[in-house]
Structure 1
Amino acid sequence: MTDATENGTKDDTSTAAPWWTRAVVYQVYPRSFADSDGDGIGDLGGIRSRLGYLAKLGVDVIWLSPVYPSPQHDNGYDIRDYEDIDPVFGSLSDFDELVADAHSRGIRIVMDLVVNHTSDEHAWFQESRSSTDNPKRDWYWWRAPREDGSAPNDWTSAFSGPAWTLDEATGEYYLHLFAKQQPDLNWENPDVRQAVYAMMRRWLDRGVDGFRMDVINLIAKRAEFIDGENRGAGLGFTMGPQIHEFLQEMNREVFAGREGEYLTVGEMPGVSIEDAVLFTDPDRAEVDMVFQFEHVSLDSGAHKFDAIPLDFVALKTNLARWQDGLAERGWNSLYLNNHDQPRLVSRFGNDEQYRVESATLWGLVLHLHRGTPYIYQGEEIGMTNVRFESIEYYRDIESINHYREAVEEFDASPASVLAGVHARGRDNARTPMHWDASEHAGFTTGKPWIEVNPNYPEINVEADRASSSSVFDFYRKLIALRHENETVALGDFELLAPSHPTLYAFTRTRGTETLLVVANVSDDAFDGDLPVDVTGAGLVLGNYANDTGGPLRPWEARLYRL
């Protein structure tokens, strides 16, 4: 498990708290961050060239989305080899230099750990599918067809279509909760687990500071494989009976007795608060924190691409439930966008008239919750969703498969399906980072692997840094607050005005200090009474340049010290 003591470099008054209670994580999607060699694909050299930018922002950790060798059916989440770096990103020596450079700036590196499944090109799967009596046959989930020749059950994958694919060579089906090129590993086989743990130890030996664990609660299956339980990505049967046993074993085998301060975060679709308390209870030694999806599912209807208006009261109520549920034991991870989610300013704000204001409002709201904040690349300059005019411009397998299935099999209107992709597609987050107003936003000198958002001449790092209302500078202040203020890092949370349709208000309290957040989530001014009298209170931070002290303006957020 991670070292549970603060190293004392930022504040010695809170030595019992883990270091990551004061940390802020920045997620880099390597394909789209910065390209150093002109091939149109971001790489490790590009990330190294921008470490000064991230150090200036003040982040403590970089989480790298997968950079392992991969056929790229799912943009790197289909891993061919866990022990190397894909040539499109660089080499192991490039990786070592990135880690060393980051560490020299006080920034840790966390790798993406994708061990629910591998690529179908991984050597383990190639052996497994070679014959029914191969020693690695049981490293994956193989099942014979039913009597009528159909799949073992009716489960569907997260990327549309069945979760089973027939392997003609051996006449059996293999399970894949995602793309057919991503067969699921059988974690009930102890040899699989030991191979994974050995791989993790080797990355730690190279200087890696922890792991973000992709869909880690899917590794424990309910192996009865009952019809009707699956709802895509295993949401009907996640967290099989061995999940806690597996994670505790991983902790013992990988982290126990090892010097260093590591971070482990488990991505867990369908996890409940009660489950999260167990997973993140430090006495149980499983993971430090989890990614859950309740709050980013509230504006979806029948399925992910069925975008419905956000119920703001439901959102703040949900976030408060997680604050309360993990208040005494366990820990929250805080995010509103990542590589799988739309851009927060387009989804939760007004990305046109009040782009800067709504970007900074949500930054203040999220970072003043109790938990470890995660910033997704471009969030810190207010990047927006993209609206490509045709499905041909999209690269994400989930969006492409959804479009094809809806249009070709269910005769849906192409325009209506594309509207759902515009709102919820993962490529919203995966278009290249906007560095400046030059061609391709300064991301590459070549042709980018996916088109740049056309609004890059106006929204880019260079323009934002030069602005008097810089989103980047506002995020710098938020990060500094967490580093410096114990109440921000560890204070108790209380939601105020829970049923108000536009006001987000809460307090953070520790000892004699109380901080108050008030945010007007609306295009209209808020001139009602605040739930707390702020007469005489000190304004710590606000997202408007001129503090009037009057009614909250559209998308205005203020942090007071009471």
Structure 2
Amino acid sequence: MSADAWWKNGIVYQIYPRSFQDSDGDGIGDLQGIQRRLDYLVELGVDAVWISPIYPSPMADFGYDISDYCNVDPRFGTLEDFDSLAAECKARGLKLVLDFVPNHTSDRHPWFVQSRASRNNTKRDWYLWQDPAPGGGPPNNWLSNFGGPAWTFDEASGQYYCHSFLKEQPDLNWRSPEVRKAMYDVLRFWLRRGVDGFRVDVLYHLIKDVEFRDNPQNPSFQAGQDPSHQLLPLYTTDRPEMQDIIVEMRRVVDEFSDEASARVLIGELYLPLERLMAYYGRTSDGLLQGVQLPFNFQLITAPWHAAEIDRIVRNYEAALPHGAAPNWVLGNHDKPRIASRVGQERARLAAMLLLTLRGTPTLYYGDEIGLTDVPIPPDEVQDPFEKNEPGKGLGRDPQRTPMQWSGAHAAGFTDGTPWLRLGGDWSMRNVEAQQGDPASMLQLYKKLIALRRNEHALHEGSHEQLEAGADVLAYARSAGTRRLVVLLNFATSETPVAAELLPADTVVLASTHADRTGAVKGELVLQPLEGVIVAQ
């Protein structure tokens, strides 16, 4: 196997640490809890574990407001707990990926405390400070992604500081060489502790316009949308200078790659397709020098129709630079769960889609048992996004609820009271209940993951889109003489498959319907909302 096979051909599993497994009864998941569940992940068949932030934090944004980049928050454990987790992952052949949050710190980080101490402080230019506008008020019209202006006035120094998110999350100044050096040293700190890579939070936000110009109005903005979308982020995201930064960041990570294992950078990038492709980086000596996996979020927002997803796949494959590794994502901690977006039956189709497309799939914890968003009453809301914009449905608590392990107290997540309420179906929709049910979502995921691992055509083969009618998404995956065909019926009625699409002597290797296996005799008719993988 090549050194980069684990992230090119493997499966990444995202853990939101507050919600995966609590080990000490305080109702909040932790590192020891994750370690306790590693054997489950091995049995599931994933290759890498990505853990959302575990750093010390005042928790204004649940860990994305960091006060110390080189330690572990006591809620999650200690550095020794992290080292133990890293060692246990390595012992099981699991790769470990951490969240890296470079755009902003907590306002309680020592860097910002020094920066706001005075205009003459040596760390003043580590953050973005500006004088008020000539008539008073913020220096420009930039908006926070969490509501309101992106500027907060500091009475003591008479200037505003910039924050793309909460006022408790001041943005770092990535034009400062000292900031870059400090943040690259953070990467090295964790790489030396055995980390295999990083998912880089809001990577495209790092550089802002040097002239601090106003963002233009968004002509397509409509009432009721996320208020931050009323402006086009022309001067606050995806600036040209970002390309230099991703090259530098990649060089740091590559310092720790060797012949046995290449380290990886995964970029969080909510960008149009042509701009997303730019983050693979420039080519040097025939190799791309940017982020190896710029997250491809198109399936999260796609209308769930065969024709639309066919268009997305074709356009994405066509846009990839030479040598670029594709990737696909169905959900994450910021977006509604797939089973809530499309329903449980279609979520089974989505599982087959994710695990058979060309490229690295990322699973969000709990999707493998069909977890859905959990309505959170107003008096139990935790997410600051919802608190800042109440009643607009922008909160992310519903997709961050605890993992449902069993029918025991609190679904086996904690001996105490969970930090967020469980789904109403927890006593039946849990890992323990689905382990013994061959028709369960969990067993479907296990079967698909095992098939993907065993079939070269699925984990490293070529990809070819096929024409199969308006309601069926079809494509072939091939490696050598082995050719598999994936057929996904998006219709709620039976749909026959044209004989010319199928290999001779067709055998169904997997179906989203547990009762279909083996050789196909006569015409292949897909059941409503059924997906199949067939081969000769």
TM exceeds 0.5?
yes
Pick which of 525-534 and 483-492 moved more. Answer: 525-534
Of 465, 479, 486, the residue aligned with 1:495 is 465
**Cα shift at 1:499:** 6.9
**Residue 545 of structure 1 pairs with residue 514 of structure 2:** yes
Indicate the residue corresponding to 2:501 in structure 1. Answer: 532
Task: Please give the per-residue CA displacement for 1:31-53, whole angstroms capped at 9, x wherever unaligned.
Answer: 00000000000001111111111
8 Å contact kept, 1:378–1:434: yes
Indicate the residue corresponding to 2:534 in structure 1. Answer: 560
8 Å contact kept, 2:197–2:253: no
Residue type at the aligned position of 2:2: E
3-state DSSP class of the match of 1:279? coil
**Residue 32 of structure 1 pairs with residue 19 of structure 2:** yes
3-state DSSP class of the match of 1:253? helix
**Residue 371 of structure 1 pairs with residue 359 of structure 2:** yes
Output the CA distance in 2 between the equivalents of 1:258 and 1:496.
Answer: 38
Output the CA distance in 2 between the equivalents of 1:23 and 1:97.
Answer: 23
Pick which of 82-91 and 548-557 moved more. Answer: 548-557
Output the CA distance in 2 between the equivalents of 1:525 and 1:427.
Answer: 37
3-state DSSP class of the match of 2:442? helix
1:34-183 equivalences under 5 Å are 34-183=21-170
8 Å contact kept, 2:14–2:50: yes
3-state DSSP class of the match of 1:296? helix
**Residue 264 of structure 1 pairs with residue 242 of structure 2:** no
1:360-399 equivalences under 5 Å are 360-388=348-376, 390-399=377-386
Pick which of 90-99 and 529-538 moved more. Answer: 529-538
Change (3 A) 1:226 1:530: farther
Task: Please give the per-residue CA displacement for 1:409-443, whole angstroms capped at 9, x wherever unaligned.
Answer: xxxxx5xx4xxx2xx64223200000011221111
Residue type at the aligned position of 2:347: A
Task: Please give the per-residue CA displacement for 1:496-547, whole angstroms capped at 9, x wherever unaligned.
Answer: 33871x3221122333322111111243333464771455222221121222
Task: Please give the per-residue CA displacement for 1:298-349, whole angstroms capped at 9, x wherever unaligned.
Answer: 46xxxxxxxxxx555333312331123227431222111111111112212x
8 Å contact kept, 2:54–2:72: yes
Indicate the residue corresponding to 2:421 in structure 1. Answer: 451
Output the CA distance in 2 between the equivalents of 1:552 and 1:173.
Answer: 61
Q: Percent same amino acid among aligned pairs?
A: 40
Task: Please give the per-residue CA displacement for 1:384-405, whole angstroms capped at 9, x wherever unaligned.
Answer: 12223x32232222233222xx
Indicate the residue corresponding to 1:347 in structure 2. Answer: 341
Pick which of 378-387 and 524-533 moved more. Answer: 524-533
1:86-485 equivalences under 5 Å are 86-229=73-216, 232=228, 235-237=233-235, 238-256=237-255, 258-259=257-258, 260-273=261-274, 275-276=276-277, 279=280, 283-298=287-302, 310=304, 313-326=307-320, 328-348=322-342, 350=343, 355=344, 357-388=345-376, 390-403=377-390, 417=392, 421=393, 425-485=395-455
Task: Please give the per-residue CA displacement for 1:201-257, whole angstroms capped at 9, x wherever unaligned.
Answer: 011111111101011121122222221348749843422121111111122234336
Output the CA distance in 1 between the equivalents of 2:444 and 2:89.
Answer: 23
8 Å contact kept, 2:300–2:329: no
3-state DSSP class of the match of 2:485? strand
Change (3 A) 1:183 1:53: same
Pick which of 17-26 and 272-281 moved more. Answer: 272-281
Task: Please give the per-residue CA displacement for 1:61-106, whole angstroms capped at 9, x wherever unaligned.
Answer: 1000000011111111111110100000000001110111111010
3-state DSSP class of the match of 1:516? strand
8 Å contact kept, 2:67–2:105: yes
Change (3 A) 1:275 1:157: same
Change (3 A) 1:35 1:278: closer
Output the CA distance in 1 between the equivalents of 2:166 and 2:499.
Answer: 50
Residue type at the aligned position of 1:250: M
Change (3 A) 1:469 1:327: farther
Task: Please give the per-residue CA displacement for 1:83-139, whole angstroms capped at 9, x wherever unaligned.
Answer: 100000000001110111111010011100000111111111111111111110000
8 Å contact kept, 1:248–1:284: no
Residue type at the aligned position of 1:156: L
3-state DSSP class of the match of 2:26? coil
Indicate the residue corresponding to 1:408 in structure 2. Answer: none
8 Å contact kept, 1:198–1:254: no
Task: Please give the per-residue CA displacement for 1:431-481, whole angstroms capped at 9, x wherever unaligned.
Answer: 000001122111111111111111111210011111121322222232223
8 Å contact kept, 1:128–1:138: yes
8 Å contact kept, 1:313–1:498: no
**Cα shift at 1:188:** 0.5
Output the CA distance in 2 between the equivalents of 1:446 and 1:275.
Answer: 43
Output the CA distance in 2 between the equivalents of 1:179 and 1:493.
Answer: 42
8 Å contact kept, 1:341–1:425: no
Change (3 A) 1:124 1:369: same
- TM-score, normalised by the number of residues in structure 1: 0.86
Residue type at the aligned position of 1:373: P
Task: Please give the per-residue CA displacement for 1:257-297, whole angstroms capped at 9, x wherever unaligned.
Answer: 65342121111121533542552567132221111334433
- What RMSD in Å do the two structures reach over aligned CA positions? 2.2
Indicate the residue corresponding to 2:222 in structure 1. Answer: none
Output the CA distance in 1 between the equivalents of 2:171 and 2:254.
Answer: 24
Change (3 A) 1:194 1:535: same
Give ranges in structure 1 of 5+ residues lacking alignment.
8-16, 300-309, 404-413
Q: How many residues align?
A: 514
8 Å contact kept, 1:369–1:488: yes
Output the CA distance in 2 between the equivalents of 1:277 and 1:492.
Answer: 23
- TM-score, normalised by the number of residues in structure 2: 0.90
